[in-house]
Amino acid sequence: MTTVKADSLRQKMDRSTALRATIKQVYIYVVLAVIVIIFSVVKLDQVDLFERGHFLSPDSIINLLRTAVPILTLSGAFTLLMISGYIDLSVGSAMSLSAVVFAWMVLNGFSFFPAIALTLLLGIAMGVLNGALVTKLRITPVIATLVTLSLFKGMALLIVPDGLSAIKSGEKVMPPWINDYARKEVLFGLPWAFWVAVLLVGLLIVVQRKTSLGKYAAAIGGNRLAAELSGIDAVTVGWVIYVIVGFFAALAGVARASYMSLGDPLSGDGMETACIIAVLLGGTAFAGGEGSVAKTMVGAIIIMCVTTGLMTVIPAYWQVMAMGSVLLIAVVMNHLLGQDKAKV
């Protein structure tokens, strides 16, 4: 009798774990579908905020994907970072600084490729700095990246004086081609910036799933000590991932600067929270150890849907609160689905 009981109990438990695993796999897609349906059903013409029409029209989808380029690129790299148990609060500032530097170079007569190459180098340098502070000097990631946050933001503000969002100087004019990268249609109505982002994020997905770097990242995030004892060079792996994040932040900054045709020193504000939300929505564990870049992309699209969708339905001042709620909901979902491993 008791064995039968135990068996049925085990079966039940197996079933509930299996159910939980299935929910974990699909819930993010369900959320995305529900959000898209809600915003498509809500009649936009009642609000007449903008006449662009239906939420699912090709125009608005293209627009959404175009504006989503920075968060798509950045949150992809951010996932890798959070899988390895680190965090980077400076990504927003790094993006602002890159945008400002890129715009400054374009304004001062650089052509596109040198400007983007130098900006990406700057991004790599910022990543090297963050990585050095966190992995070499072993300063707590939150504190180290908060310090670099104020550093990068301060530098961006020094290049562009406070109160001015665009770079303008007397006779110099921003060349019109700065827009081409993030606005000119090349394929399916989408610009270069989007396809570059798709390519690089695709590369990141491969790196995360198939290469030793991805496996090492998960190992470090899961149990750092065990990873080090089994011969993984945690310092180098962490450092490399910080450099990747810096590179992607610079890429996001270039896309933003090109999209707005100016360098705004505050354009990256809030990007770090947006990235965290996208990563958590994608089901990456808080403490690291598991996660998926591909699912983060779905999370990022959800965020973009919520922000652009909300703008058409309710006034803009609801947005911060909405994002905060989405973050806490993502946290609760991750908890319910058993993603967090209690460490205390």
Smaller CB separation from another protein, 117 or 142: 142
Least distance to another protein from the beta carbon of 316, Å? 7
> What letters, b where the CB count within 10 A reaches 16 and e where it falls short, cover 243-280?
bbbbbbbbbbbbbbbbbbbbbbbbbbeebbbbbbbbbb
Regarding 273 and contact with another protein (CB under 8 A), the answer is yes
Q: How far is the CB of 87 from another protein (least distance, A)?
A: 7
Three-point CA angle 92, 280, 145, nearest 5°: 35
Q: Which of 121, 186, 206, 328 binds another protein (CB under 8 A)?
A: 328
Q: In this structure, what token pair is assigned to residue 252?
A: 């996001």
CB atoms within 10 A of CB 95: 34
Our CB check for another protein shows the closer of 61 and 147 to be 147
Q: Taking the complex as a whole, how short is the minimal distance between the CB of residue 41 and another protein, in angstroms?
A: 24
Coil, helix or strand for 187?
strand
Both tokens of 90, joined, read 């400076």
- Is 138 one of the binding residues for another protein (CB under 8 A)? yes
Nearer to another protein, 14 or 340 (CB): 340
Q: CA–CA distance from 190 to each of 113, 182, 336 (Å)?
A: 20, 9, 38
Question: Which positions from 75 to 114 touch another protein by CB under 8 A, shown as an x/- string?
Answer: ------------x-x-------------------------
47 touches another protein by CB under 8 A: no
What is the rounded CA–CA span in Å between residue 239 and residue 134? 8
Question: Would you tell me which residues interact with another protein (CB under 8 A)?
Answer: 87, 89, 137-140, 142-143, 146-151, 153-155, 157-158, 161-162, 273, 276, 280, 286-287, 315-325, 327-328, 331, 335, 340, 342-344
